[in-house]
Structure 1
């Protein structure tokens, strides 16, 4: 299964913020949209990604005063990306190895969507269940 197939089903909606949005505004948007990460765009260019963990870290380090800081002060700048032609297995391995939960999907520096570890696990389970059903049907027909 390829990332492009996941995006066809899931859709390409990506919630984004700008580097100048405050940490408080970003935290509110994470909560309102019920997502774990937002892509930070500087114009059309991906400048970073900010997760719930980034928000917790900056608040833990400096208290409520850091809520007025721009999100650029806590976002991850070295963003790992997925490409539409990559497989679920390759992304699961990369995400596990690098301990990340969200990957923006880009092609030619253009943001196409985002996938989470939950999205990938859901698709992997569907693949395994389909394979098990096929094997059961094969065995039953003798």
Structure 2
């Protein structure tokens, strides 16, 4: 299965914030959307949910590490985001993405094609796709054996 097929099933909505947003805004956004990471986009896209150029990603883990140091919640996301973002494309195989996510311990990978943000894949999405594939295979085998 390719990433494009997975996005068709799960949807392509991505919550984004500009790098100038504060940590407190990030916390509200994570809680409001019940998500674990936000894609950080260039400041030319100032509204939540925009699709500017990906400049970073920030997760719950980043926030915990940041706040553990006793740092202010009004600090901009640019101070704690991961700026070397590992992305995938629409043509990538989900199985290959699973290996990459596991090896590099990434729980969220933005989908970028030709510089445009198309979605985000979480490790949960990958696991669900794999379970769905195994269930379909099992059903096919059971059907074959009943014939």
Q: Which secondary structure state, in structure 1, belongs to the residue aligned with residue 72 of structure 2?
A: helix
Alpha-carbon offset, residue 45 of structure 1 = 1.1
Give the number of the structure whose residues are more often helix, by fraction: 1
Q: Which runs of 4+ in 1 moved over 4 A?
A: none
Residue by residue, what CA displacement relative to the aligned partner does 1:71-126 show, whole Å, maximum 9, x if unpaired?
Answer: 11000001010110111110100000000100100101110111100011101100
Alpha-carbon offset, residue 66 of structure 1 = 2.2
Matches within 5 A, 1:1-142: 1-42=1-42, 43=44, 44-61=52-69, 63=70, 65-141=71-147
Partner Cα separation in structure 2 for residue 59 and residue 70 of structure 1: 13
Alpha-carbon offset, residue 28 of structure 1 = 1.1
RMSD between superposed Cα atoms in Å: 0.9
Residue by residue, what CA displacement relative to the aligned partner does 1:35-57 show, whole Å, maximum 9, x if unpaired?
Answer: 00000000321110000000000
Q: How does the TM-score come out when normalised to structure 2?
A: 0.92
**How many residues get paired?**
139
Q: How does the TM-score come out when normalised to structure 1?
A: 0.95
Structure 1, unmatched stretches of 5+, are none
Partner Cα separation in structure 1 for residue 93 and residue 31 of structure 2: 30
Structure 2, unmatched stretches of 5+, are 45-51
Partner Cα separation in structure 2 for residue 49 and residue 140 of structure 1: 49
